[in-house]
Amino acid sequence: MSIDDIKCKIGTLAGDLVQNGMTVGLGTGTTAFYFIKRLMERCQEGLEIQAVASSTASLKQAHDGGIPMIDIENVASIDLTVDSADEIDRQKQMIKGGGGALLREKIVATMSKEMIVIVDETKLSEKLGRSKLPVEIVPFAHHYTKSSLEKLGYSGEFRRTAQGLLFMTDNGNLILDLKLDPASTNPREDHVRIREIPGVVETGFFFDLAQRVIIGYKDGKVQIRD
Ligand code: 5RP
């Protein structure tokens, strides 16, 4: 099975778990795309839900596809959020933000009674740190913020668009992709140290947010970790 077929399979499966009356949080990325696609189909078949998006890209897909979207400012809590991850370990701790939406994704996940994470097997990790750690940083004095992080031993590059421009998040911030070394990465400590630097808005470490994990394997099998 191709990775894209796996993403379609687990996204569709997660879409089938949504129930009438729910307020649903929509993740961001190529896996969440299939979850949103399935919800679009189910809404056309009569499913009654309302949804909030974690990015303008997901908002556009869902809105264009006929999912009733509501302003997050009018939401007290979300019943279920479905999103993917760049890396997830056995304790369901994650690195997210490959799509640059980590801040809104974390807020939406935090507002949710349940978060289901859908990943293909390539995202599974024994120890977080294989992928780069996206960190959202305000544009003001971003070079200084970067050098402050370097002094603490965290180095990386600002994310750029295909045209070579600085990538800008939906919040008007930048993403610094930090290179980690799994051997020396201590996610909780690193998260706190990085967050202490003024100018850092949020890191892509997600702790204690994922409840259920749906894993899709290349041989077509699907595993659910509760
Ligand atoms: C976006 C994210 C995504 O969930 C993560 O990057 C995985 O993306 P994909 O489903 O495209 O592999 O955190 O900010």
Distance CA 76, CA 222 (A): 33
Cβ of 81 closer than 6 Å to ligand 1, yes or no, is no
Question: Which atom of ligand 1 has the smallest separation from the CA of 102?
Answer: 14
pLDDT at 226: 92
Cβ of 29 closer than 6 Å to ligand 1, yes or no, is yes
Cβ of 87 closer than 6 Å to ligand 1, yes or no, is no
Task: Assess whether 48 carries a catalytic annotation.
Answer: no
Cβ of 88 closer than 6 Å to ligand 1, yes or no, is no
pLDDT at 148: 98
Contact predicate 12/38, CB 8 Å: yes
Question: Which atom of ligand 1 has the smallest separation from the CA of 101?
Answer: 14
Read off the pLDDT of residues 6-39 as tens digits, 9 standing for 90 and up.
999 999 999 999 999 999 999 999 999 999 999 9
Distance CA 135, CA 152 (A): 15
Which one of 41, 48, 73, 105 is the catalytic residue? 105
* Residue (of 138, 139, 137, 127) closest to 177 by Cα position: 137
Contact predicate 125/87, CB 8 Å: yes
Average pLDDT value for residue range 36-64: 98
Please give the single-letter amino acid code of residue 166. Answer: L
Which residue intervals of the chain are DSSP H helices? Answer: 3-15, 32-44, 56-64, 102-110, 142-151, 187-195
Question: Which atom of ligand 1 has the smallest separation from the CA of 28?
Answer: 1
Give Dmax over CA atoms of the chain in angstroms: 55
Cβ of 203 closer than 6 Å to ligand 1, yes or no, is no
Distance CA 40, CA 167 (A): 29
Residue 217 token pair = 């394997």
Work out the percent of the chain whose per-residue pLDDT is above 90: 99
Q: Whose CA is nearest to atom 8 of ligand 1?
A: 29
The model's pTM: 0.96
Read off the pLDDT of residues 126-158 as tens digits, 9 standing for 90 and up.
999 999 999 999 999 999 999 999 999 999 999
C-alpha 149, offset from chain centre? 23
- Residue 123 CB contacts under 8 Å (≥ 6 apart), including other chains: 84, 85, 86, 87, 88
Residue 161: band (very low, low, confident or very high) from pLDDT cuts 50, 70, 90: very high
DSSP output for 71-85: -GGG-S-EEEEEE--
Pocket test residue of 86, 121, 128 for ligand 1, highest count of atoms within 8 A of CB: 86
